[in-house]
A and B are shown apart, each in its own frame.
Chain A
Amino acid sequence: MKIIHTDVLVIGAGLTGLRLAIAAKRRGHDALILSLVPPKRSHSAAAQGGMQASLGNVIKASGDSEDIHFEDTVRGSDWGADQAVVRMFVNTAPKAVRELAAWGVPWSRVKAGDREVVINGQRVTITEREESQGLVAQRDFGGTKKWRACYVSDGTGHAMLFAVSDRAIAQQIPVHERKEALALIHDGHRCHGAVVRDLITGELSAYVAKATAIATGGAGRLYRSTTNAVICEGIGSAIALETGIATLGNMEAVQFHPTTIFPAGILMTEGCRGDGGLLRDVDGNRFMPDYEPEKKELASRDVVSRRMEQHIRAGKGVKSRFGDHLWLDITLLGKKHIEGNLREVKEICHYFLGLDPVTQLIPVRPAQHYTMGGVRTDHTGESPTLHGLFSAGEAACWDMHGFNRLGGNSVAETIVSGMIVGEFIADFCDKAENDASVPMSLVHAALKREEAKLAAIMAQHGTEDATALRTRMQDLMTEKVGIFRTGEVLQQAVDELQGLLKRSYAIRLRDRSRGANPELVTAYRVQKMLKVALCVASGALERTESRGAHFREDHPRRNDADWLCRTLASWPDLEATLPSLRYEPLDVMGMELPPGWRGYGAKDYIEHPQTAERLALIEKVRRALPSASRIEIQRALMRYDFLLPKRYRGGNERIEDELEAPAAPAKQMVTA
């Protein structure tokens, strides 16, 4: 069995994995990427609509800043996010867009002068400023106060992925394609790499590294109805979970995207609604203003998805042989706009539905879209419990999304977390004490263990069918751990998932070949997926409140008094059929933006006992600084700049915002 050595082992070659590797390589460390598929096939390519960054170039983004992006993100998260991490993110996002612009991403640009746009169902003319001519343009997305999503027509993720993947080729970073990490190599304290299976030959090898980074994306395929690519099965999260040491954070926080084509679940970008598209019901009525008078179609995704399902429950869905759906109407945007800025949407409608969105309505219904939870890390992207294990992007719980992610913040996170965590990985590799030599006995033991597991699956004479187990899990997750949740139904899901996990150890393979064997792959993956599914379902069962995308009909209020905390799931006992859950409290007294109303969705929530005290303190700080700039006030409320890698500190220039002098070194962490 082969053993391959590298400084940094990155698992996953989507935007995050590539950017992590580029960061490490630029700092002089060898990086090697493993990928199930060629990097340019990664699910990052499917991000259509845009990347949030407060550049403030278009007129509808005038006045935008890191501060407003911060507030939108925290409100969107329903106060589940780590606010210091959100600050790190919003400050780096403009730098990320600018770096990508230099690397060749053909961002759509601002054209000065009048242009016609659709806002709230009306055609209006807006005038772009002369000084914005040729700068990166922004479009509107849900849950944001300003137009902030930078975009490349509707192929944003594709264009970014190609530019970043090509940059990795320029840096001569090897990508080992069609390789799957089956398990992490660790000694209980320190991660040393991974045991990897070749998906063509079936051969196992060990990749030994100083730092190992999981960047495998989300776990959408736990659900039957999902926008996610077929490779998004949560295996990266699962191998972290199976160490028994690393934890998964907030796995119950699962986002459902409002507009996916029905019934295939293929994404219709939020740009459809951002650009002025409307939702209509069986009577042709635009129903969102009745539920959400302020943000209408552009409330956050969790809210819009719930309202849509609520409207279908009220009998306003359109009946079809596959079930009920609603309509997405972009006809009002006109042919020119659709064919220019929403071309992927037009193509998908054409090929999958045989309809033309220029003149026809698109059947849509919410489907699973994003995994807010993931491998729990600190602000550097390292697991707080397993040294040398890093994670970033959708696979991680860093945690900037809390219980609901804003549209355009995920594709932004891929690059931003790649930049930031990549620097910290390089710092880690720079330190002599992390040079630790790996006992070869540990590596061989890990290889043997994985080989034995595969041999056991091959030799089993059970009765279970791997695909049938996976299908049942996906049905259960969609039906019982979906948009609306109750304790009783979640309990049923947890019970049955445990049964499925037990049954997954009695799978009988029809094909016993050792090489490329898709059935064997399904068999070992379904065991891992069921564990992740159990983290989602049991986390949802235990969390007796509603927050962001996690909505409990039997506990409809957000409960900051009891649940302002992050769920941490671990799997210490490999024989167990349930994860062990712990909770990590969020500190209200350290928050720049204490919990309140989001500006959309439900207005009642149970307040945290310290919220009033924190609000009063913030008010006092503000009053004490009557002539201070927004940056000085921010610094007084919550210091975060010292958390960032040095190369990404400092502000961002805008046409109406000159570059502020760098902050004085942070002596005391929190002033307020």
Chain B
Amino acid sequence: MKKIIPLVEHQHGRIGDARPQAGYKEAGSAASTPRELSIRVLRYNPQEPGSVPRMQTYRVQEAEGMTLFIALNEIREKQDPSLQFDFVCRAGICGSCAMVIDGRPTLACRTLTRNLGTTITLAPLPGFELIGDLSVNTGKWMRAMSERLRTWVHMNDEPDLSRLEARMDPKLAQDIYELDRCIECGCCVAACGTAQMRKDFIGAVGLNKIARFRLDPRDTRDDGDFYDVIGDDDGVFGCMSLLGCHDVCPKQLPLSTQIAFIRRKLVSAGLR
């Protein structure tokens, strides 16, 4: 068997401090001088009478491999037990922790502080009901979106579970999964110009769902059915193609192509 030689350096442009890894004996992380971080948080608790929106700054000593998940929990444990935020999987999978980090909506759990400056500004995602501080009600928004767009496979019959499953082209299954990877984190809605102006705009998350079900042969709906749910200015025709959604999607979904494609298809459905 060929001998595996680990590379000397890696090439991720987005991660600032390339960390050499010379061989099997090298530890996974190198020591560095700890920085003092100023974490500025937009605080507001609508549940509390008299609460007004304000910025509050916390000072935290940076640690090796520190993520915003670690930093915010440390603040809550040691400095301010009332600070509200949401984390669940802390591995970039569940989409709970989207917030605006230095002006950009993204997932906090997988944001390493070492890739940010010493002053970090955090705000809740716009476009969603605020629960308190950094916590917003994406769950309520997403459920309403699902009910409105009917984001499930519309089947004709119940399958016979003891029989072989229906076959599907492997490439098609993979293509559906590409669009199915959305984690409903809400970043695309927060980054959307249209969503800021139209409160009922369905956002890239909704349009991507339609693209996903449209691609799926198990769903019996046709373009006419899809036109009925997104064929207006709160749907696919509201998109101004600013494409903030595409830039911030943590799962790098092909949102701009999908929106353009769906728009073209539904224009023809609408003209029919």
Contact = CB atoms under 8 A, between A and B. Distances in A.
A97 B164 CA distance: 10
A133 B15 CA distance: 41
Which A-B residue pairs are the 4 nearest by beta carbons?
Answer: A38-B139, A134-B167, A320-B27, A363-B28
Contacts of B94: 37, 40-43, 45-46, 229
A32 B112 CA distance: 38
Given A266-B90, A509-B81, A354 B10 contact: yes
A227 to B, nearest CB: 8
Contacts of A516: 45, 47, 84, 131-132, 135
10 contacts: A37-B86, A39-B139, A41-B89, A102-B166, A103-B155, A135-B164, A155-B177, A318-B24, A320-B29, A354-B19
Contact of A43 (B3, B88, B131): B88
Contacts of B168: 107, 109, 134
Interface string A158-170: 1100110011011
A281 interface: yes
Contacts of A266: 90-91
Interface string B6-23: 110011100101110101
Contacts of A125: none
A102 B76 contact: no
Interface in A70-115: 94-95, 97-99, 101-104, 106-111
B174 interface: yes
A41 B139 contact: yes
B162 A153 contact: no
Contacts, number: 265
A321 B29 contact: yes
Given A41-B95, A109-B168, A351-B110, A282 B24 contact: yes
Contacts of A353: 28, 65
B181 interface: yes
B83 interface: yes
Contacts of A281: 24
B236 to A, nearest CB: 20
B159 A169 contact: no
A284 B173 contact: no
A332 interface: yes
B152 A108 contact: no
B55 interface: no
B92 A135 contact: no
Interface of A: 37-43, 45-46, 55, 94-95, 97-99, 101-104, 106-111, 121-122, 133-137, 152-153, 155, 158-159, 162-163, 166-167, 169-170, 175, 177-178, 200-201, 229-231, 262-264, 266-267, 280-284, 318-322, 325, 327, 329, 331-332, 340, 344, 347-348, 350-356, 359-361, 363, 467, 509-511, 513, 515-519, 648, 650-655, 659
Given A133-B167, A318-B24, 18 more contacts: A37-B96, A41-B89, A99-B161, A108-B173, A108-B174, A121-B1, A136-B165, A155-B180, A158-B180, A162-B180, A266-B91, A284-B24, A319-B25, A348-B91, A352-B112, A355-B21, A513-B82, A648-B161
Given A170-B152, A281-B24, A511-B81, A229 B90 contact: yes
A106 B180 contact: yes
B260 interface: no
Given A104-B153, A111-B170, A519 B92 contact: no
B169 interface: yes
A471 B213 CA distance: 45
A135 B183 CA distance: 26
A106 B173 contact: yes
B143 A169 contact: yes
B139 A659 contact: no
B228 interface: no
Given A106-B174, A107-B173, A659-B163, A231 B147 contact: no
Contact of A267 (B19, B91, B135): B91
A462 B218 CA distance: 60
B243 interface: no
A40 B142 CA distance: 10
A38 B142 contact: yes
Given A354-B19, A511-B81, A153 B174 contact: yes
A106 B45 CA distance: 41
B223 interface: no
A40 B184 contact: yes
A264 B90 CA distance: 10
B113 interface: no
Contacts of B4: 280, 284, 329, 331-332, 361
